[in-house]
Structure 1
């Protein structure tokens, strides 16, 4: 017993049909692109003539003086006789009309009226079979924007059926059919456009073979007109897609540049805030602290002061302490979002200025000694600056928390690092902030000295510790490697974001 069924389709045949379909789409697209190039070239060639005709019809349009950018990018003032890029009023009105919702209904009704009027020279009344085909081939264009595919099916079917039934060829219905093919080619994918081109070419061949309605038109001209309409629509779709892609890319680029500019401005602001914070802490806080200490110790070192002078020194000391509290609050605000800043352009202190720093501490009423061990050598600016700032911060804290305590500063030049050790012997010295999370609290409680010293050391890949010393007092130890500076100069030469 045999079972008869549909023969399986050959894979070779299916692939051949698929390739023919794709090839037809590419042929139509190439033809449309060629036509677009030809039309563009003709337009460019006729542009001077069109401008002269426009000047004759509408007169020379001039723009009022207004600022504009010249070719060199500089702002210039347009001369009163410069030709304006603004189109004539009638062209702007036409563009506005074509973009309106009532453009399609009005033009569709106009095509219907023109098609019925075109029947009169042929002696055909509007109410006839030819009139019905003319209306069916033009009236659906009223809804071409909302329902393109159903409208196209009705228009093309009515146009082909009218020609096959022996009705005369009308210019209006032919234009409606070609415009429908153009609209389909503009909106359909390339594969469907290729199938449409094949179907339209076959339909034209059938009409030539089965009816004589197109005998007055050479078949090559009819075939080229059909394929050109489809190809021109497909080429227009490609151009519009490329323009949209370019516009989207330009928009993305503009957004990226805008965000980048905003980030750069924000970073510049944060760097400036960090620089201000460093200057306030490293310079102003140090100086104000010395003023406060000297004002407090002056009444004890000068026995012949009058009561008014003693009161003045007390007022100076009180004002300096209040200034330090307000400065801590300001530093807390500046450091809220400030990041690390760029390298400073101003000269920075080095280790050769440590004796001067020690003398300043002694002049403020403190006691300090400097001891250097090892073979002193020239170090990088970052290492010497970090060591100087650490010693400066410890001396400032000693004057603030343990006035009158003995301070010993030790520098040790080792093989691969510089060791810094600063210890004071004050009985009430262990009052500095040890936990960075406690620094910069509300109301100006705490400071940023420990955080800044720790960041200076860790930035160079070194080690830092601070805490109470055995036997009383406070000790700060830091080790600053030499190698980190040479291997990562771009990071090491940057001052710390918090000091």
Structure 2
């Protein structure tokens, strides 16, 4: 029956595993060695040979040492094989048990000895068999080719088993080294992606901060000409403020050059950095690309700092791009919640969760806070989920992304309106949960 065959296939590997555990146990060698000794003595009884006899002594000497074969293989093999050869040369009856013990000992030596020593062992065994056939009639009932074949097969099987195990260990070591290399490479690529994303964020923030500092410099420079009756000290103070602001702009540009993670020239963006008042335009663009999106605003909408609004805009932009690429045609809901101390952003699509294949050139797609599907990064110079996390943690906020309870995929971020003095950066998600 099909069911029975399936059961047998399921049970057989379990018994094989159990047998491997038994053969590795400490008691396996003593038990089998004693069992061979008892079997050899019992085999002498039908031959009218007393256990306490020359034949019995040879039988015990050829089998009993196998009790200690794991601890002292070479001395045990010398005693067992010597006893077997002496038994044959003195004309003692051939026992199946002692023959098996001799062949097993040759197999064990084939597994233990190096390749050159195994060849010497095979040659010595063939010479011994030849001497027995030429000097005695003990093995006349056994064709000599069968004996030679059995001896060579036992030694060859042991050597082949050693070669297979050595190849397996080599393959496992190579696989481990490959995994370690890939892990280090992935970590390096992820670090590079983080640095590129931080440089991109820094360039955006540079535009925001540079505008404010430029306004400070302009107002400080024009103040002496628009205000009457300024004291010399006040005029000197405004001049110093303007000078400091200009120096700050120069230093900011230098810092931006240090943060750049690549040396490729980029086209300057002369457009102002987007704020939340441009979010309806982004929604219209998504709808124009065939997407369905619903924007909901809760709380008391108000003007926030440029950095917070820019981060919120970019998070929504990246999330909508992800939805278009991985859940085309799915309905997307964008929620902005204005709270007294923070701005909450949530973007959820109702598309079925699917796993996207990440190109080898882009290691930065991650799964965050849960067994989320991996999403390929958008073609906007950003880095998808990694970029969203960087924007949220830069402000001391929180970020999570993963399958939504209602189905689909959800991105959530909370952006504090006022960052703490010493914010704790969110720990990186553990492997497998990025």
TM range (shorter): 0.5 to 0.7
Contact 1:144/1:151 (CA < 8 Å) preserved in 2?
A: yes
Is 1:186 the counterpart of 2:92? The answer is no
Equivalent residue for 1:341, pick from 230, 239, 262: 262
SS state of the match for residue 214, structure 1? coil
Is 1:132 the counterpart of 2:132? The answer is no
Is 1:176 the counterpart of 2:101? The answer is yes
SS state of the match for residue 6, structure 2? coil
Distance apart, 1:215 and its partner CA: 1.7
Is 1:222 the counterpart of 2:147? The answer is yes
What residue number does 2:159 align with?
234
Is 1:155 the counterpart of 2:80? The answer is yes
Equivalent runs, 1:259-270 vs 2, <5 Å: 259-270=184-195
Equivalent residue for 2:6, pick from 60, 64, 68: 60
What residue number does 1:293 align with?
217
Distance of 2:225 and 2:128 partners within structure 1: 117
Equivalent residue for 1:121, pick from 46, 62, 67: 46
1:427-477 Cα distance to aligned partner (Å, 9 max, x none): xxxxxxxxxxxxxxxxxxxxxxxxxxxxxxxxxxxxxxxxxxxxxxxxxxx
Cα distance, 1:55–1:206 mapped onto 2, change above 3 Å: farther
Equivalent residue for 2:15, pick from 67, 85, 90: 90
Distance apart, 1:103 and its partner CA: 1.5
Equivalent runs, 1:411-490 vs 2, <5 Å: none
Distance of 1:185 and 1:240 partners within structure 2: 13
Cα distance, 1:270–1:224 mapped onto 2, change above 3 Å: same
Considering only aligned residues, what root-mean-square deviation do their CA atoms show, in Å?
3.9
Distance apart, 1:173 and its partner CA: 0.7
Distance of 1:169 and 1:339 partners within structure 2: 84
Equivalent runs, 1:301-340 vs 2, <5 Å: 340=261
Contact 1:271/1:342 (CA < 8 Å) preserved in 2?
A: no
What residue number does 1:103 align with?
28
Distance of 2:23 and 2:225 partners within structure 1: 95
SS state of the match for residue 119, structure 1? helix
Cα distance, 1:215–1:258 mapped onto 2, change above 3 Å: same
What residue number does 1:11 align with?
none
Distance of 2:180 and 2:199 partners within structure 1: 28
SS state of the match for residue 107, structure 1? helix
SS state of the match for residue 233, structure 1? helix
1:187-238 Cα distance to aligned partner (Å, 9 max, x none): 2122211111111111111111222221221111111111111122122222
Distance of 1:207 and 1:236 partners within structure 2: 29
Distance of 1:207 and 1:291 partners within structure 2: 108
Cα distance, 1:141–1:342 mapped onto 2, change above 3 Å: farther
Cα distance, 1:189–1:180 mapped onto 2, change above 3 Å: same
Distance of 2:128 and 2:56 partners within structure 1: 22
Cα distance, 1:207–1:335 mapped onto 2, change above 3 Å: farther
SS state of the match for residue 99, structure 2? helix
Distance apart, 1:298 and its partner CA: 6.4
Number of matched pairs: 262
Equivalent residue for 1:212, pick from 117, 134, 137: 137
Distance of 1:207 and 1:231 partners within structure 2: 22
Distance of 1:300 and 1:196 partners within structure 2: 104
SS state of the match for residue 140, structure 2? coil
1:49-104 Cα distance to aligned partner (Å, 9 max, x none): xxx9x986xx5239xxxxxxxxxxxxxxxxxxxx76x8543322211111222211
Distance of 2:187 and 2:62 partners within structure 1: 58
Distance of 1:335 and 1:118 partners within structure 2: 90
SS state of the match for residue 60, structure 1? helix
Distance apart, 1:175 and its partner CA: 0.7
Contact 1:119/1:125 (CA < 8 Å) preserved in 2?
A: yes
Contact 2:192/2:261 (CA < 8 Å) preserved in 1?
A: no
Contact 2:88/2:94 (CA < 8 Å) preserved in 1?
A: yes
TM-score (norm 2): 0.52
Distance apart, 1:300 and its partner CA: 4.9
SS state of the match for residue 175, structure 2? helix
Contact 1:275/1:341 (CA < 8 Å) preserved in 2?
A: no
Distance apart, 1:153 and its partner CA: 0.6
